Amino acid sequence: MTSAAPFPSPETSPSPGTSPSAPTFPPTGRRVLVSGASRGLGRALAQAFAANGDRVAVHFGSRREEAETTLASLVGTGHVLAGGDLSAPDGAYAVAETAAAGLGGLDVLVNNAAVNLPHPLATTAYEDWAAAWQSHVSVNLLATANLSHLAARRMIEQGGGGRIVNVGSRGAFRGEPDHPAYGATKAAVHALGQSLAVHLATYGIGVASVAPGFFETERVAHRLSGAEGEAIRAQSPFGRVASADEIAAAVLWLASPAAEWASGTVLDLNGASYLRT
């Protein structure tokens, strides 16, 4: 991780309750940053917001060509690319600045970027184990925290109102034996979202998370064939996995004005494959 540069900040820190007449949060025409939007769920999220009439900043880390494909697929105009390495604080800062400059502000942040690499303890060397934890924490948790700070402060400075939606995971609750850092960091993302939901409500900013089970993207398509695929589909009584569009539809609702009272929610999206009480 690179060291963070000294970031500029407002001359005075914002205080709760200073914007009691903040503008009503709009249902469309918003300025939306989606992290990890070059393919898969991120692409589906960007497409859902664009179809809603919003303008989208498509973040990518290293997959610029795929991000450009996402950008070209979006209906409407005014969408932008925002490339950068979220594993470093200054990289997250640059992404947020690029997105806000390109869109003219930020109204919605969707924290979707994530690392998910196998590292089962019994067969993973210690140096590889430590590296896996570092990369998962840097992207899944710290980048989510950093982008949330940057976006929320901008929302506050704009007069209040906004939404942050985090993409968590079912694995935060049921465990991830071969991907323990993924499960742990996603549990932390859920907790972070709930803390921010309480803190940011006074500014009219809602914060929620989704906890998807298995859903189909090109990255995991190979796992859905043969016996492994049948076993994965059998986890749900519906006998299938979700589509990325189904997850995106839930995120779009949580980012809407109608979902203000869902702030603090961790919404299970797993087809009854794992039931929490």
What are the beta bridge partners of residue 215? 242
User: How many Å is the maximal CA-CA distance in the chain?
Assistant: 59
Considering only CA atoms, which of 61, 85, 70, 77 is closest in space to residue 40? Answer: 70
3-state secondary structure of 164: strand
Considering only CA atoms, which of 169, 214, 213 is closest in space to residue 190? Answer: 169
What are the beta bridge partners of residue 243? 216
Considering only CA atoms, which of 48, 19, 20, 15 is closest in space to residue 34? Answer: 48
At 64, the amino acid letter reads R
CA distance 234 to 241: 9
What are the beta bridge partners of residue 82? 59
Q: Outline where the chain has alpha helix (H).
A: 40-51, 64-73, 89-103, 126-136, 144-157, 171-174, 180-200, 226-234, 244-254
Q: Which of 126, 182, 203, 274 is catalytic?
A: 182
At 186, the amino acid letter reads K
Catalytic residue flag (residue 182): yes
For the purposes of burial, counting CB atoms within 10 Å of the CB of 75, is it exposed (0-12), middle (13-18) or buried (19 or more)? exposed
Q: Can you read off the two tokens belonging to residue 132?
A: 């896996």
Any idea which residue has 């979006």 for tokens?
A: 74
116 φ/ψ angles, rounded to the nearest 5 degrees: -150, 85
Q: Which residues are catalytic?
A: 182
